Amino acid sequence: MFSSYQKEAAFALQAVGEAARLCQKIQQEMVLKALSKEDRSPVTVADFASQAVIAHMLQEQFPDEPLVGEEASHSLQLPEQADKRKAVEKYVRQVFPQASGGDVLAWIDTGAGEPADRFWTLDPIDGTKGFLRGQQYAVALALIEKGEVVVGALGMPNLNTKMEEDPDGDGSLVIAVRGEGSWVVEAGGSDFARMQVTSRVDPATVRVLRSYESGHTNVSQIDIFIEKMGITHEPVRMDSQAKFAVLAAGRGELILRLISPSRPDYHEKIWDQAAGSIVIEEAGGKVTDLTGRKLDFTRGSELLGNTGVLVSNSALHEAALAALKAVGADQRPS
């Protein structure tokens, strides 16, 4: 299917697919059937299990390549976390039956790698609140070479290939390779469809994709921005990098990550943006920070050279940047 990065793309699809299936099982068994959504333990179990599975798969196929992941096992090793640790081990053994408890902890900690000329970055569950609500979340994995994302994969258990919410379905997988497009396939399937952003610029038809979580952005400034752009369509609310896939498939035009006034010094983590950014770009869209700068993946685990994130269908990008500047959203709160 791809003329470059064939092995890497195949691995990324396999890895996020395996982890997404496992997370779906944990969500069904621990969130939807058993526990109240105020209990965060299910998402913690899923986070650790997802990272352990993908890290071990990476060790087997690309043993010399670092993984920069979100999780570390130290909290899981505390005596009071024994039940959670056992749950993580139980779910990991559904993928790797011979895994010992020590294996699982070691695999999780493989994600403590340092960025290098070539490395992988992983968000084992992007969208923890969506996971706990039984709604949208994503497993996000990307390969970065010399500061450029060259492969990105998203596993979305509760979205179908039309990017519609489908919690009872098998979910979808998205894969993007630099220069070779973004593609979506049903989890477990083989019928790939190319993804393409819209060319919409009419404010009456433009759709903004927004997070449910107000702590991730500046809600009032987004409202002012929407008014400035003349957008009248009701925002589409969704957690995680699933929003990137939805926009890449032509079901939205804009995504904003503004700087929250309560966290003026916050910088985006690379695992929250890497996979989604290449999916957008390879579908014809554009990703920059709020000032128009390209996202800089060369400065460690955070986007230290950037201020927030703007994602668009390309056609709207310059107008959106101008509106952000006009409402002061391109600057960090003082």
The residues assigned a catalytic role are 47, 128
DSSP 134-149: TS--EEEEEEEETTEE
Tokens at 331, concatenated: 């600057």
Residue owning tokens 């014809």: 284
Q: How far is CA 215 from CA 72, 135, 211, 257, in A?
A: 23, 18, 9, 11
Q: Residue 312: helix, strand or coil by DSSP?
A: strand
Tokens at 11, concatenated: 């691995």
Sign, Cα dihedral of 12, 198, 167, 194: negative
**Cα–Cα distance between 312 and 287 in angstroms, integer?**
7
Provide the CA 79 distance to its chain's centre, in angstroms.
Answer: 31
Task: Please name which of 229, 238, 110 lies closest in space to residue 164, comparing C-alpha atoms.
Answer: 238
Query: Which amino acid does the sequence have at 106?
Result: A
Q: Residue 167: helix, strand or coil by DSSP?
A: coil
* DSSP assignment letter at 28: I
* DSSP assignment letter at 155: E
Sign, Cα dihedral of 158, 159, 164, 168: negative
